A and B are shown apart, each in its own frame.
Chain A
Amino acid sequence: MPDLAVVHGRSPSFYAVFDRKEDGDPGQTHYCPGCGHGILTKLLAEAIDALGIQDRTVLVSPVGCSVFGYEYLDVGNIQAAHGRAPAVATAVKRSRPDSIVISYQGDGDLAAIGTAEIIHAANRGEAITVIFVNNAIYGMTGGQMAPTTLVGERSTTTPWGRDPTVHGYPIRVCELLATLEAPVHIERVGLGSNRQIMAAARAVRRAIDNQVRGLGFSVVEVLSPCPTIWGLDPVEAQTFVRDTMPRTFPLGILRDRTATAVPRPPLPSPPDPAELPGILGLDGATAGTTGGRAGGPRHAGADHRIVAAGFGGQGVQVLGEVLAEAGLSAGYHVAWLPSYGPQMRSGTSNCHVRLCGGAVDSPLVSRPTALVALNQPSLRAFLPRMEPGTLVLFNADAVPPDGLPRGLRIGAVPATAIADRLGSPRAANMVMLGALLEATGMLAPGVVEATLQRMVTDPAWRDLDLAALRAGQRAARRALPATCLHRTAILGAPGPPGPGPRPS
């Protein structure tokens, strides 16, 4: 056909071969005969071709029948969790401002489980393009009611038809979004006739072009046939879109501020990951005090599981934070999990800290290797969890004489009294931290001191904390027998001798 030229044919934005169904070269889509998703995907491809943006387009596919969008369009592809496509699109657009990001979503995806994401993305005016496929039903899962199901329409979950007094009225998403200030382009089109399809093609292209021009949020709702679930043949389904759906969902432009919208200034591009330690002030600390990478062989096999507990205001969280920060500097993998009572002061407060040689499997400590109890209620609350061999440091002059499980390595460190003598009872947490270091040897005191230098900005407090830390180390040597320091020996605590340490 030498004198014939292709005017409409398979778009180069499609993969040459669709592998998904393995039905041979070049392959069909997985959509049912007459499905609107197929038509719309072609309109998208055509717009991408026309705008010349194939190499910078990122399509975010939803959960729903179009979940396999990435099998067809040869662009950047991400498949998002149900309803979350606008959040994913936001992330892509913000981190790669030159990309053209299209969030493609069904009505179950966008208007049911994803209601929050779409409203807030629109309200923020994210410079993305949303293609919203309204087929008034959950297609993929077999025809449950969607928020957009028409009044009276039957579905598997409205077998007698949607009754507004029971199921509410269909949600008009475009009208809802048009109450927001930020969107620049909101339009509803249909796939119900030749004329409607051509209008849809123009709307899709414009909504993407808006993004190419740097304008804000654009959304096109597309009334789309789902012959399979509707129980209609493809031509009947198309007619339903043309004649019936627009009575509930009127077609047209609901917002067009593209003429006056000012292109958004680009967000500063994110820093290179290599710069992050410097930005977070961790480079000096890490390089200066450890010389090792997290999880390096120095800590191989280490698994320190610490619970610190006390009244709110006793500094339990700061104790945990300093410990975790210092652990990080020393090359451990760490976790610090604060847990507060509802009160700011005088409530209970505890935190879990893990310093591990390898990846931390959970920030939660259910079997501590050490408990730091800043008051008696904390001791009583956590003792039942203590296993033989656990180190317990208790803020008091003496260990309570009764009720203690056997086989603990327990020592009384009068932290509040020591801190009070040094200048403030509020430094008791650092006394306890010093004692913990001395008893376990998990961190070199120098690392913790360097961490305090960095974290405590007030010089008076810094000096007090450092003094408290050192006093705590001395106190631990007094409180615990030599066998309990830096070792796993068992103190025969009050009561009959315990069963000894767990075999490891």
Chain B
Amino acid sequence: MERTIDRGTVVIGIDECKGCGLCVQACPPRVLRLSAQLNRHGYHPAEYTGSGCTACGICYYVCPEPGGVTVFRREAA
């Protein structure tokens, strides 16, 4: 069974995230959520649901933390 290959993916800096939720709300395809886990600062960090990221970068721009979000784009094959 072949899955559509996503254009991008996103990595949350778990211990830099403050769980503000701005990225979750801003992501157009809604592929981010706040984790049920706590990070070591006591925040529920954002997490990627695992598929559907378009690498649009919006989550990066709304995030107040310098290392909160890293967005990757798949190189054109």
Which A residues are closer than 8 A to B by beta carbons? 1, 3-11, 14, 23-24, 26-29, 31-39, 41-43, 45, 72, 194, 197-198, 201, 227, 233-235, 238
Q: Which residue of B lies closest to A35 (CB)?
A: B64
Q: Is there an interface contact between A194 and B62, defined as CB atoms closer than 8 Å? A: yes
Residues of A within 8 A of B70 (CB): 6, 8-10
Option from B22, B58, B75 in Cβ contact (under 8 Å) with A34: B22
Residues of A within 8 A of B19 (CB): 33
Residues of B within 8 A of A5 (CB): 72-73, 75
Q: Which residue of B lies closest to A191 (CB)?
A: B62
Residues of B within 8 A of A28 (CB): 15-16, 18, 41, 65
Q: Is there an interface contact between B66 and A4, defined as CB atoms closer than 8 Å? A: no
Q: Is there an interface contact between A38 and B73, defined as CB atoms closer than 8 Å? A: no
Q: Is there an interface contact between B72 and A11, defined as CB atoms closer than 8 Å? A: no
Residues of A within 8 A of B9 (CB): 1, 4
Give residues of chain B (37-77) contacting chain A, Cβ–Cβ below 8 Å.
40-41, 43, 55, 57-58, 60-67, 69-75, 77
Query: Given A29-B66, A39-B61, A8 and B71 touching (CB < 8 A)?
Result: yes
Q: Which residue of B lies closest to A234 (CB)?
A: B20
Q: Which residue of B lies closest to A27 (CB)?
A: B16
Interface string of B15-35 (1 = CB under 8 A from A): 110111110011000000000
**Additional 14 contacts, C-beta under 8 A, given A33-B43, A235-B21:** A1-B72, A3-B74, A5-B72, A5-B75, A10-B67, A14-B67, A26-B13, A34-B64, A35-B64, A39-B61, A42-B61, A194-B58, A234-B22, A238-B25
Determine the distance from Cα of A235 to Cα of B77 in the docked complex, in whole angstroms: 38
Residues of B within 8 A of A36 (CB): 64
Option from A7, A26, A34 in Cβ contact (under 8 Å) with B20: A34
A476 to chain B, nearest CB (A): 73
Q: Which residue of A lies closest to B57 (CB)?
A: A8
Option from B13, B41, B65, B69 in Cβ contact (under 8 Å) with A8: B69
Q: Is there an interface contact between A11 and B55, defined as CB atoms closer than 8 Å? A: no
Query: Given A28-B16, A28-B18, A10 and B72 touching (CB < 8 A)?
Result: no
Q: Is there an interface contact between A29 and B65, defined as CB atoms closer than 8 Å? A: yes
Residues of A within 8 A of B61 (CB): 8, 39, 42-43, 194, 197-198, 201
Of B55, B60, B64, B70, chain A has the most CB atoms within 10 Å of the CB of B64
Q: Is there an interface contact between A235 and B65, defined as CB atoms closer than 8 Å? A: no
Q: Is there an interface contact between A6 and B72, defined as CB atoms closer than 8 Å? A: yes
Residues of B within 8 A of A6 (CB): 70-72
Consensus secondary structure, chain B interface: loop
Q: Is there an interface contact between A39 and B74, defined as CB atoms closer than 8 Å? A: no
Q: Is there an interface contact between A7 and B8, defined as CB atoms closer than 8 Å? A: yes
Determine the distance from Cα of A33 to Cα of B21 in the docked complex, in whole angstroms: 9
Determine the distance from Cα of A206 to Cα of B9 in the docked complex, in whole angstroms: 30
Residues of A within 8 A of B41 (CB): 23, 28
Determine the distance from Cα of A14 to Cα of B72 in the docked complex, in whole angstroms: 19
Q: Is there an interface contact between B26 and A194, defined as CB atoms closer than 8 Å? A: yes
Option from B43, B63, B65, B75 in Cβ contact (under 8 Å) with A4: B75
Q: Is there an interface contact between A33 and B64, defined as CB atoms closer than 8 Å? A: yes
Determine the distance from Cα of A450 to Cα of B71 in the docked complex, in whole angstroms: 74
Determine the distance from Cα of A197 to Cα of B20 in the docked complex, in whole angstroms: 16
Option from A7, A24, A39, A41 in Cβ contact (under 8 Å) with B62: A39
Q: Which residue of A lies closest to B18 (CB)?
A: A33
Residues of B within 8 A of A9 (CB): 60, 69-71
Q: Is there an interface contact between B25 and A235, defined as CB atoms closer than 8 Å? A: yes
Residues of A within 8 A of B57 (CB): 7-8
Q: Which residue of A lies closest to B26 (CB)?
A: A194
Determine the distance from Cα of A1 to Cα of B73 in the docked complex, in whole angstroms: 10
Residues of B within 8 A of A3 (CB): 74-75, 77
Residues of B within 8 A of A29 (CB): 64-66
In the complex, 30 of the A-B residue pairs with CB atoms within 8 angstroms, ordered by the A residue number, are A3-B74, A4-B75, A6-B70, A7-B57, A8-B57, A8-B60, A8-B70, A10-B13, A10-B66, A14-B66, A26-B16, A28-B16, A28-B18, A29-B64, A31-B64, A32-B18, A33-B18, A33-B64, A35-B64, A38-B66, A39-B61, A39-B63, A42-B66, A43-B61, A194-B61, A197-B61, A198-B61, A201-B61, A235-B21, A235-B25
Of B22, B58, B63, chain A has the most CB atoms within 10 Å of the CB of B22
Residues of A within 8 A of B74 (CB): 3-4
Q: Which residue of B lies closest to A25 (CB)?
A: B15
Residues of B within 8 A of A27 (CB): 16
Q: Which residue of B lies closest to A7 (CB)?
A: B73
Q: Which 7 A-B pairs have the closest CB atoms?
A: A38-B64, A8-B60, A33-B20, A33-B18, A34-B20, A4-B72, A9-B70
Determine the distance from Cα of A31 to Cα of B66 in the docked complex, in whole angstroms: 11
Determine the distance from Cα of A35 to Cα of B41 in the docked complex, in whole angstroms: 17
Residues of B within 8 A of A234 (CB): 20-22
B5 to chain A, nearest CB (A): 9
A205 to chain B, nearest CB (A): 13
Residues of A within 8 A of B60 (CB): 8-9
Q: Is there an interface contact between A4 and B73, defined as CB atoms closer than 8 Å? A: yes
Q: Is there an interface contact between B26 and A39, defined as CB atoms closer than 8 Å? A: no
Determine the distance from Cα of A310 to Cα of B62 in the docked complex, in whole angstroms: 70
Q: Is there an interface contact between B21 and A233, defined as CB atoms closer than 8 Å? A: yes
A289 to chain B, nearest CB (A): 59
